[in-house]
Structure 1
């Protein structure tokens, strides 16, 4: 038989189909080692890229990987001494990677508003942008992104302390499809800014305003009403101005809420939590309310009895909670909890933990640190049997799951 050359027989489209059928990234890399033609096809077909490179190398990457839609240039905390991507790098990226939908610049501390202006000017298809802890950024740069990136769906700005309500106003006017916004530690954000945001952005599913100390009940209530059908995750850690009015508004409007973080909101009490437990009983999966000092057994029992889909619960430092919260569960009350944190709740004893274990066979992580009546020895003496897959944190030596961060 005459020999047949694959490259003479198969078209580029047919070879790309072969490449698309390869499952692992390793196999796709090997595909490119066959010959220059296959390397070119493999390069132009690649969709994701993670790199650390200067402008010259980024330019070469852009010319080789022409269809990249996801670019990760983020810096880890361990490389905090290194500034990462700079404004000149962003100019090259914006000109070279025109198809970008996702751009991660987390912790790239060298970026300024000039770099963001390049993004807004050139990357009109961008849908996801993470500039968390790029501490030099201000409203000027964010306004440029909002002006040019109308399809933006997710924006993460944690640690950007110069961002103010003006950025939220720009997003409201130009990025109407925004679904996720991270503002952790942006202390210049106020209730007024949130009110402006939801005038235009009414599809928000995830809002992180942890440690936004100038946000209070008025802002949260406005968000709850405007984004009632879409809001699924709301993070309010250490927002000390947030109280019962916010929780009552969430209970009234947000029936699809899945994750609520209210740790450190010390004015929240049983009355509003009971309303929330009844309203979101079918949707709520993750609830963090550590340091909510007015929370006691009545609201906790209500949560455990009504929220059947609850998977993670943190009531650390809620000093009024006692065994009664668990002993109030009836014979038909079975919990689907996977993560439970009850550290620094001095009224909880081995009796309460034992009752909990009777009702919760799916537990994977239990935090009982700093409970004077609950120690590894006492649990053993009481004959408590923890689920096989459950990690019990008695002393703080275990890595905590990040589901409630």
Structure 2
């Protein structure tokens, strides 16, 4: 067959290739993974480049992105989401400029900013009328006028996140602004006003009464809102499916604000469609949990993190009736024992994620019971427990629990009893593990880590922060899937970084914060050998001497770099000297 005929035979129309590319996406892939896949495919041919461009729906902006706006928006024609949470430039000017393009945006993220860019949002809203999701979390200063602006400018909003402001000015004006929001945003389905200290019972009542489609409310650390206030508001919104509430102040966090009987009665009588309940840090009771059990609420997510006042009888009663729970958080439930975890694990056939951190009586037996009895379990958090303590004499019996191919994430940070033999046993039954957090586990060695990496070859994220006995000089084999490696506050040195970079060349993120023995030579090894590196963190690496020229050389030699967190030797005025046309943010 001639080359021409061969090419004709293999040709597929763009629509078929687009279907193939979409098939390559995993359901659990985040935006970064999808972006990387599309970027790789686009490099193969001009045809693939033209096909992948419309598949990119979201775009994250960094400091130097502004000069390329026209090119970006003409290339990616189907963008629906813009993220400016990493952008440190003039956001008012940038939003004003973006408003001149014909875009059908539905989502905008303006988090981590000094204030709300009012002028930019005003210009943006005049031209772009399709926005349904706005996120402005962790903004340092929010005014009541900002809320009036949002209410006036984006009437189609379905999701609004204004959580965790550092400073709210003019409390009285805010109460009027919340009422204006509730009247203007008739399509609102989800709102997060956590840490809005000015909120009171009346303002929450306005939200519940006026936003008739409201289904999810998040009100953490809203100290002016009481349990009874929530109870009266629930009467106005019986179709609420998700409630997250806590008003515990710092001084009372140990005991928690006590949930009232009125709150309990409203919760179970009004919300018969409740699928998510988060009462973190409140003082609840077994009676409340038993009431939920009697109503057989269709809960899929239950968070009782740091809650007090309840006991095992209450949680057992609830789980016996509500067996569709997928996410369960019982952090700091002091009454939990290995036997009790084994008992509730038999009731959790749909469980996907569980948090039992700070349940200090739990050992290996609890973890293995969960692995054995919960076939869909994908994530376990057991930090600050007694994992590794009181191991049975015949430890090999643990392997009889069999393999669990579903478990992807295991968080075991701050477990001082954890030893290499425990890790190796876990690795032998968790073949598809992708995330392993062992930070501050002092008694593990590099031999144990290397053995885990051999057995769990799919690990993508490994956290070894504060594991000072780990140097990884024995890592003499390829670890092709590892993408994120956290070695913060360890005794790693340049020789270690050379070994790691040669055998973990697919690293995307390297975190070396407070690595006091690392020098610029070690950093150069990482930048040279890790050909896909996107982020490197060198904060408090006192022996790494870096200046504007060395940063520029790093970026030019490794074009994939998107973020460099600089060491103390890199002064603020040096940032101005870094070439601004590179798509890399220097912190």
What SS is found at the alignment partner of 1:174?
coil
The Cα shift of 1:48 comes to 1.6
Q: Indicate yes or no: 2:405 matched with 1:237.
A: no
In structure 2, what is the Cα distance between the partners aligned to 1:230 and 1:329?
Answer: 28
Q: Which residue of 2 aligns with 1:73?
A: 245
TM-score calculated relative to the size of structure 1: 0.75
Q: Indicate yes or no: 2:345 matched with 1:168.
A: no
**Residues 204, 227 of structure 1: 8 Å contact kept:** no
Structure possessing the higher relative contact order (Cα contacts under 8 Å, 6 or more residues apart): 1
What SS is found at the alignment partner of 2:328?
strand
In structure 2, what is the Cα distance between the partners aligned to 1:77 and 1:255?
Answer: 43
C-alpha distance after superposition, 1:73-102 (max 9, x if no partner): 145776866945604213321221011111
The Cα shift of 1:40 comes to 9.2
The Cα shift of 1:130 comes to 0.6
**Residues 280, 307 of structure 1: 8 Å contact kept:** no
Matches within 5 A, 1:51-62: 51=219, 54=226, 57-62=229-234
The Cα shift of 1:147 comes to 1.6
In structure 2, what is the Cα distance between the partners aligned to 1:269 and 1:186?
Answer: 25
Q: Which residue of 1 aligns with 2:327?
A: 154
**Residues 100, 123 of structure 1: 8 Å contact kept:** no
The Cα shift of 1:332 comes to 9.3
- Please tell me the root mean square deviation across aligned C-alpha atoms, in Å: 3.8
The Cα shift of 1:296 comes to 2.2
Q: Which residue of 1 aligns with 2:299?
A: 126
Q: Which residue of 1 aligns with 2:463?
A: 288
Cα distance, 1:248–1:215 mapped onto 2, change above 3 Å: closer
In structure 1, what is the Cα distance between the partners aligned to 2:377 and 2:460?
Answer: 18
Cα distance, 1:311–1:198 mapped onto 2, change above 3 Å: closer
Q: Indicate yes or no: 2:524 matched with 1:354.
A: yes
Equivalent residues, number = 362
**Residues 354, 384 of structure 1: 8 Å contact kept:** no
User: What are the ranges of 5 or more consecutive residues in structure 1 without an aligned counterpart?
Assistant: 1-21, 34-38, 398-405
User: What are the ranges of 5 or more consecutive residues in structure 2 without an aligned counterpart?
Assistant: 1-129, 134-154, 159-181, 188-207, 571-587
Q: Indicate yes or no: 2:218 matched with 1:50.
A: yes
The Cα shift of 1:245 comes to 1.6
TM-score calculated relative to the size of structure 2: 0.54
In structure 2, what is the Cα distance between the partners aligned to 1:122 and 1:201?
Answer: 24
What SS is found at the alignment partner of 1:385?
helix
The Cα shift of 1:279 comes to 3.1
**Residues 210, 238 of structure 1: 8 Å contact kept:** yes
**Residues 546, 569 of structure 2: 8 Å contact kept:** no
Cα distance, 1:334–1:345 mapped onto 2, change above 3 Å: same
Q: Which moved more, 1:184-193 or 1:334-343?
A: 334-343
What SS is found at the alignment partner of 1:71?
strand
C-alpha distance after superposition, 1:133-153 (max 9, x if no partner): 113332122212212211111
C-alpha distance after superposition, 1:290-336 (max 9, x if no partner): 2333322434564xx4133x3321223432x3212333468896333
Q: 1:24 aligns with which of 125, 132, 135?
A: 132
In structure 2, what is the Cα distance between the partners aligned to 1:174 and 1:268?
Answer: 33
Q: Which residue of 2 aligns with 1:394?
A: 567
